[in-house]
Amino acid sequence: MNDCVSLREIPTACGRRFGHATLDSPKTLNALTLPMIDRLAAALDTWLADPAIAGILLEGAGGKAFCAGGDVATLYRAIKAAGGRPVPEAAHFFEREYRLDYRIHTAAKPILCWGKGIVMGGGIGLLAGASHRVATPSTRMAMPEITIGLYPDVGGSWFLPRMPGHGGLFLALTGAALNAASARFAGLADFVLADEALDDVLAALAATRWSGEAQADRTQLSRLLQARALPDDIATAPLYRHFDRIEQAIGPTGGGLPDLAAIAPRLRQLADDADPWLAAAGRAFTHGAPSSAVLSATLWHQARQLSLAEVFRLEYQASLGATAQADFAEGVRALLIDKDRQPRWQYTTLEQVPQGYAEDVLRARFSGEHPLADLGRVE
């Protein structure tokens, strides 16, 4: 399909139906484009308003990824074409993406997200708010925005601080990947099922009698998934196994602004660690954008006491500000356009990032009412 989202409805034993949306752009690992966001949002609105729809299933086509993130390459081209002028495409993309993410978080009906394979950035935005989040042995989740001069958005400022200890801040600063066990430990997955279990789950959805009462159907769906879940294996979760090392690296924050000057040397030291997962995290921080680290730490501090709607409003401002900075275009160029993986950051060290940088990024870049002002008015 032209918009790369396939939609269908699954008849069930009681006459009610399950909405089934498939991100269908395997060549791009189902990276989210604005047309995909709009089609998915319209489908969700229709299904959530239809009393004959008992729940919704989200998955990705191709077997390799649920969703590898937002389509930042298209945004990069729009930014370069604008030549320093404001980029309407950025405002449209982030407003509609965050509306969709918020809709998933606040949906009354059960939403099952099949997080098989790669789940990054915007893919985590779709998954994080679902009522039933499934990881599989092939799952690799990450928020690697520090590698492109951005920050963990799509609600990352909401769910990262809610992870155990300072694990969420560690992930924001390093982009470290999570396997299924780590995703469960972090609170980004509720069930771990076999990669090939989806057909069985689809058959079970169809064979089940759904009540149409949201809470009862949520419970029913939980039982259905738990009956097919793989045994818990927390020992295979690097985020759990290295919990103490992570806490030592980040250090106490006391709820205040993280001390990046103290944290940075400890994260850099991890680049030479004997453990491959910790070493990869240390290297990613070392080569990532210092400006992203500053912005991520600021949002970690500022968003902790905000409501979900307030988080998305703040992230909208942060995303417009961050994508207007030179580091974003340079990060996307190095990773996705020229693919030389040699970004030339505007600020090469944390010390070079100007005082007030994060505050400038976070300032409003719109006139009048906030474009997401209506979020949270009726929840």
In this predicted structure, the answer to whether residue 325 has a pLDDT above a threshold of 80 is yes
Per the prediction, the chain carries an average pLDDT of 96
Give pLDDT tens digits for 118-169: 999 999 999 999 999 999 999 999 999 999 999 999 999 999 999 999 999 9
In this predicted structure, the answer to whether residue 378 has a pLDDT above a threshold of 60 is no
The confidence band for 86, taking pLDDT boundaries of 50, 70 and 90, is: confident
Give pLDDT tens digits for 229-288: 999 999 999 999 999 999 999 999 888 899 999 999 999 999 999 999 999 999 999 999
| 5-362 CATH choice from 3.40.640.10, 3.90.226.10, 3.30.565.10, 1.10.1330.10 | 3.90.226.10
Give pLDDT tens digits for 216-235: 999 999 999 999 999 999 99
In this predicted structure, the answer to whether residue 66 has a pLDDT above a threshold of 50 is yes
Per-domain boundaries in the chain: 5-362
In this predicted structure, the answer to whether residue 290 has a pLDDT above a threshold of 90 is yes
In this predicted structure, the answer to whether residue 85 has a pLDDT above a threshold of 90 is no
Amino acid in the structure at residue 260: L
The confidence band for 42, taking pLDDT boundaries of 50, 70 and 90, is: very high
Neighbours of 363 (CB within 10 A): 11
In this predicted structure, the answer to whether residue 8 has a pLDDT above a threshold of 60 is yes
Q: Are strands 17-23 and 65-67 parallel, antiparallel or unpaired?
A: unpaired
In this predicted structure, the answer to whether residue 2 has a pLDDT above a threshold of 70 is no
Amino acid in the structure at residue 331: G
The pTM for the full model equals 0.96
Lowest-confidence region among 78-92, 311-325, 340-354: 78-92
The confidence band for 316, taking pLDDT boundaries of 50, 70 and 90, is: very high
Residues 6+ apart with CB under 8 A from 147: 175, 284, 287, 288, 289, 331, 335, 343
